[in-house]
Amino acid sequence: MSNRSSSFLTEYGYRWEIESGYRSIKRFMAATTSKDFGLRFFYFAFACLLYSIWRAVDLLVQVELTGEYEHSPIVTADNTLTLLKKETGIG
């Protein structure tokens, strides 16, 4: 494989991570049919915040338990969303 092809595949891999991240963020978004841009933007920004908190908690838990960080979460999004709904009613 040429150096150029390898570089292309590496860049595409980064894009795939970004696309996967957006899919994960959507799981944290509140469902709405509103056409109000401000409300939809708030839901997206809040979902990004929740996603970031989830990833940070997962990172801290992994490092505490194993001493290293792997990309596969130990603290899953489903567990986090279930806990959030149970404790706050949001979700």
> pLDDT digit string (tens) for 12-24?
666 777 777 778 8
Question: Does the reported pTM lie above 0.85?
Answer: no
Enclosing domain of residue 47: 3-88
Give 46: exposed, middle or buried? Use CB within 10 Å, 0-12, 13-18, 19+: middle
Which two three-digit tokens encode residue 30? 């509140």
pLDDT band at 75 (very low <50, low <70, confident <90, very high): confident
Closest to 29 (Cα-Cα) out of 13, 46, 54 = 46
Structural domains of the chain, count: 1
Side chain identity at 62, as an amino acid letter?
Q
